[in-house]
Amino acid sequence: MAILEASEKVSPPKLDLVCALFPVDSAGMSANQSGSQYHFKGMLLVAGLLAIVGSFLVDAPVTDAFRLSAPDGSRQVARWISHYGDWPPILLAGLAIVAALAAGKKYAAARVFLLILLAGLLTGLGSTLIRSTTGRTRPTTPAPQGFYGPRYQGRWIIGKYDFSSFPSGHTATWAGLAGAAWFRRRSLALVFLLGAVVVAWSRMALGCHHFSDVTAAFVWGLAVGPWLVNQLEPTVPRLWSRLGLPAS
């Protein structure tokens, strides 16, 4: 819990979607220094997009290498991780942590964790909305592999499991949590990042996603999570006060 209490001391500046990748401390910077920082973050965003493109080039062999076909212990572990690493369990566990912090009168830490939780979950929700419309086949889908958009063979496939692979919603949620926590407490962000890696492995091991699906989810989560933190930051204190909880 000390991880969260220390995070309240940090008050990062407002960031746009490019600057959200890493913090910018503009105090004391010259115009050239500030421009260089912005340029560097733009390059990181481009690198993320190139990572997605690169993942498609090695998609089939990497996806096949991670996929577990035999019903052994590793596959059962992957099923367990995939089940408990999904949106509803994360929400319930996150709210339990917020409640425990509030019960211990660590209100500032509870508010920070609630902010991170909401940003991460909304990042995952955004990814789910995208994958519901891309129409990409799962690795196990019997139809020819590809992106079909919202319709396939004259019928709507929005939200159909077999046609909603890109990007991975599980991975995007955990990457969003990591991105959201990065500017509050990086040790906590690293825990979420490890969770994202493990969950991504489980989704590929079960044949639920391609390598490019989880790669795109990482880029999406790490970029959108921090941006959402800044959008939600004014909302959480108002929500907190409506619940009748002390500020500190």
Domain presence at residue 233 = yes
Domain presence at residue 13 = no
- Total domains, the chain: 1
Beta partners for residue 151, in sequence order:
156
Q: Which residues, 6+ apart, have CB-to-CB distance to 245 below 8 Å?
A: 102, 107, 110
Q: What is the pTM of this model?
A: 0.85
Work out the pLDDT band at 13, boundaries 50, 70, 90.
very low
Domain presence at residue 28 = no
Domain presence at residue 133 = yes
User: CA 234 → CA 8, 112, 142, distances in Å?
Assistant: 14, 12, 47
Least reliable range by pLDDT among 10-14, 44-48, 140-144, 174-178: 10-14
pLDDT digits (tens, 9 = 90+) for 231-242: 999 888 888 777
Least reliable range by pLDDT among 6-20, 62-76, 180-194: 6-20
22 pLDDT more than 50: no
Mean pLDDT of the chain: 86
Domain presence at residue 77 = yes
What is the full DSSP assignment across 157-216? -TT-GGG--SS-HHHHHHHHHHHHHTTT-HHHHHHHHHHHHHHHHHHHHTTS--HHHHHH
Greater confidence, 70 or 66? 66
Confidence (pLDDT) at 188? 94
Q: What is the CATH number of the domain that holds 228?
A: 1.20.144
194 pLDDT more than 90: yes
Cα atoms found within 13 Å of the Cα of residue 227, Cβ hemisphere only: 15
Domain presence at residue 124 = yes
Domain presence at residue 236 = yes
Domain presence at residue 22 = no
16 pLDDT more than 80: no
pLDDT digits (tens, 9 = 90+) for 137-180: 999 999 999 999 999 999 999 989 999 999 999 999 999 999 99
The residue range of the domain holding 120 is: 40-242
CB 90 within 8 A of CB 173: yes
